[in-house]
Amino acid sequence: MGRKRKHPEKAAGGVTRRGFIGSVGAGAVAAATGVARRGESTPEITDPEGMVQVALRVNGRTHRMLVEPRWTLLFVLRERLGLTGTKVGCERGECGACTVLIDGLARYACMTLAVEAAGAEVTTVEGLLDGEELGPVQKAFVEEDAMQCGYCTPGQVMAAEGLLLANPSPTFEEIRRGMSGNLCRCAAYPHIVKAVDRAATAKKKGGPQ
């Protein structure tokens, strides 16, 4: 009659079921918010000792900088130099959206390490402008409506520049073959071929047609 009744929620170590559940819930919330906080605040860590100094000459200007040996030319052009005309596409050398000229040759920037381009002359689509004036190839692409969404256009233009440097008077078949490394999801290929042919004529005349 005088015995104390055990609390129904008491467990063998003096911890109640309610307290246990509450502590587990609080721990889970803390862990979740902790992970989220770490994910938001953790910066990209770069080991300065693992970087190398390079001098990249881009569009006639020399840039001296520290780069990681693994950085692609595409990454450096966009993220370190702000030249976003060179587009990120497949990043595995298939689409051609990132095409630039290296010493006059069309190259995929996603497949070229920045350190490989050191000492070479790199030209991006921004380097084709004469002030605010479009270059012959750029102008021909506009006049022949050789774009739809436009995402692949910078790479197409640079591939055309490389082709015309190597072959100033290509046939239509040579243009198709020379531009085959650049994909256009919108399938504007007939217009692209006409644009390259128009640009070839314009270049031979010494300026935009």
Question: For 145-194, what is each residue's pLDDT tens digit?
Answer: 999 999 999 999 999 999 999 999 999 999 999 999 999 999 999 999 99
Could you read off the pLDDT of 113-154 as tens digits, one per residue? Answer: 999 999 999 999 999 999 989 999 999 999 999 999 999 999
Q: Residue 42: is its pLDDT beyond 60?
A: no
Where are the strands (E) in the chain, listed by range?
A: 52-58, 61-67, 99-102, 105-108, 121-123
| Statement: residue 30 has pLDDT above 50 | no
- Average pLDDT of the residues of the chain: 84
- pTM for the full model? 0.75
CB 67 within 8 A of CB 116: no
> Distance (Å, rounded) from C-alpha 108 to C-alpha 80?
18
* 8 pLDDT more than 50: no
For residues 208 and 150, the model is more confident at 150
Can you tell me which residue has the tokens 């307290």?
19
- The beta strands (E) that lie in 14-157 are given as 52-58, 61-67, 99-102, 105-108, 121-123
CB distance 66 to 53 below 8 Å:
yes
> Looking at residues 100-123, what average pLDDT do you find?
98
Q: Taking a C-beta distance cutoff of 8 angstroms, is the pair 98, 86 a contact?
A: yes
Domains of the chain: 42-128 (3.10.20.30), 129-209 (1.10.150.120)
For the chain, the residue count is 209
Distance CA(150)–CA(156), nearest Å, equals 10
- Nearest-angstrom CA–CA distance, 203 and 167: 12
Q: Taking 70 as the threshold, does the pLDDT of residue 14 lie above it?
A: no
Contact by Cβ (8 Å): 157, 137: yes
